[in-house]
């Protein structure tokens, strides 16, 4: 398992059980991470960046898993993966 995958797993485990009130003040930070990871994935695939739909807060952990898996499948450059790992860790510290 990569450092990135480990970081995503830790963050996902931290937030996946949250109820709606707990997301207050934190959902936008998580959504920003989801969008950033999606952008890195699009860049790695040589595809245009697209806006990730902003769904209900309770969907954010699932969106995190999907975009993280997509990023890993795109086989990004080591620098991009390091950037993604730092972004996940920074978000986790903010949660």
Residues 6+ apart with CB under 8 A from 45: 74
Which pLDDT tens digit goes with each residue over 28-51? 999 999 999 999 999 999 999 999
Residue 63 token pair? 């969106």
Is residue 33 within 8 A of residue 88, CB to CB? The reply is yes
Residues 6+ apart with CB under 8 A from 2: 72, 81
- What residue has token string 């485990």? 13
Which pLDDT tens digit goes with each residue over 57-80? 999 999 999 999 999 999 999 999
DSSP 21: H
The torsion of the CA quartet 40, 8, 31, 69, rounded to 10 degrees, works out to 50
Q: Is the pLDDT of residue 1 over 80?
A: no
Give the pTM: 0.95
């Amino acid at each position: 398992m990569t450092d990135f995958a480990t970081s995503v797993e830790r963050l996902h485990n931290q937030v996946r059980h949250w109820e709606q009130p707990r997301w207050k003040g934190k959902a936008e930070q998580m959504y920003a991470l989801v969008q950033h990871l999606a952008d890195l994935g699009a860049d790695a695939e040589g595809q245009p960046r697209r806006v990730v739909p902003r769904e209900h807060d309770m969907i954010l952990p699932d969106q995190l898993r999907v975009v993280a898996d997509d990023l890993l499948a795109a086989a990004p450059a080591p620098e991009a993966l390091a950037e993604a790992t730092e972004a996940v860790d920074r978000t986790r510290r903010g949660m």
